[in-house]
Amino acid sequence: MKLVFATHNQNKVKEVQEMFPTQITLLSLNDIDCTEDIPETAHTLEGNAILKADYVFKKYGYPCFADDTGLLVDALNGAPGVYSARYAGEQRDAGDNVHKLLEELKGYAKRTARFETVIALNLNDEQHLFMGQVQGEITTKKSGQKGFGYDPIFRPKGYHQTFAELPLAIKNKISHRGKAINQLVTYLNSL
């Protein structure tokens, strides 16, 4: 079975590929020559994930899943949340986002946060949703070279390292997306 993962982010494809059974061929948007930026105009993670999965199924005809992730910081009342990618502006730059968050939290002792992921699967116009989250805290400075996005400043609960310092196999086991992908894989295996 060929299944599209509606993302241009090769880091995500690499993460997710490791969790998929070999009988499913995972295709990225680049693999199906979809170069456009799929609109993410909803105001919820769920809404955006559904928009992306439906867009690919309708335009390209492939079964498809899409994820949308938010980083919810307690001291900022859940910001940046659904706007995590554009937190520091439309350029969607990870370095700028990390810098802004560290500035916003300067002087805060309470730095708890969580990542939440929603995955929408569109299988021949049938919709399924899967969710995952991980609790942790925002560090006071960047550590680690692995991963992407906010990884260098997110330390999952129970660990001394940030996501950018932990091996990918551990991140996949405990992360928001890892948990949601696990549910997706379990569902696909049951078909």
CB of 62 to ligand IMP, least distance (A): 20
Question: Which of the ranges 26-34, 99-107, 147-155, 180-188 carries the binding residues for ligand IMP, by CB under 6 A?
Answer: 147-155
Residues in the chain: 191
130 binds ligand IMP (CB under 6 A): no
Give the residue from 7, 6, 27 showing the smallest Cα distance to 17. 27
Give the residue from 77, 62, 74 showing the smallest Cα distance to 6. 62
DSSP 8-state symbol, 7: -
Both structure tokens of 94? 């990870």
CB of 69 to ligand IMP, least distance (A): 4
Query: Which of 5, 57, 130, 163 lies at the binding interface for ligand IMP (CB under 6 A)?
Result: 163
Paired with 133 in beta bridges are 116
Which one of 33, 68, 93, 151 is the catalytic residue? 68
Residue 80 phi/psi, 5-degree rounding, is: -75, -15
Whether 68 is catalytic:
yes
Tokens 């196999």 found at: 169
Whether 104 and 113 have beta carbons less than 8 Å apart is answered as no
CB of 178 to ligand IMP, least distance (A): 9
According to CB under 6 A, which residues from 70 to 129 bind ligand IMP? 71, 84-85, 94, 97
CB of 123 to ligand IMP, least distance (A): 21
Query: Which of 63, 132, 149, 156 lies at the binding interface for ligand IMP (CB under 6 A)?
Result: 149
**Angstrom distance (rounded) from CA 158 to CA 170:** 12
- Looking at the chain, which runs of residues are DSSP E strands? 2-5, 25-28, 64-73, 80-81, 112-123, 126-138, 154-156
68 binds ligand IMP (CB under 6 A): yes
28 binds ligand IMP (CB under 6 A): no
Question: Which of the ranges 25-33, 64-72, 138-146, 179-187 carries the binding residues for ligand IMP, by CB under 6 A?
Answer: 64-72
Give residues in contact with ligand IMP (CB under 6 A).
67-69, 71, 84-85, 94, 97, 147-151, 163, 175, 177
Annotated catalytic sites, by residue? 68
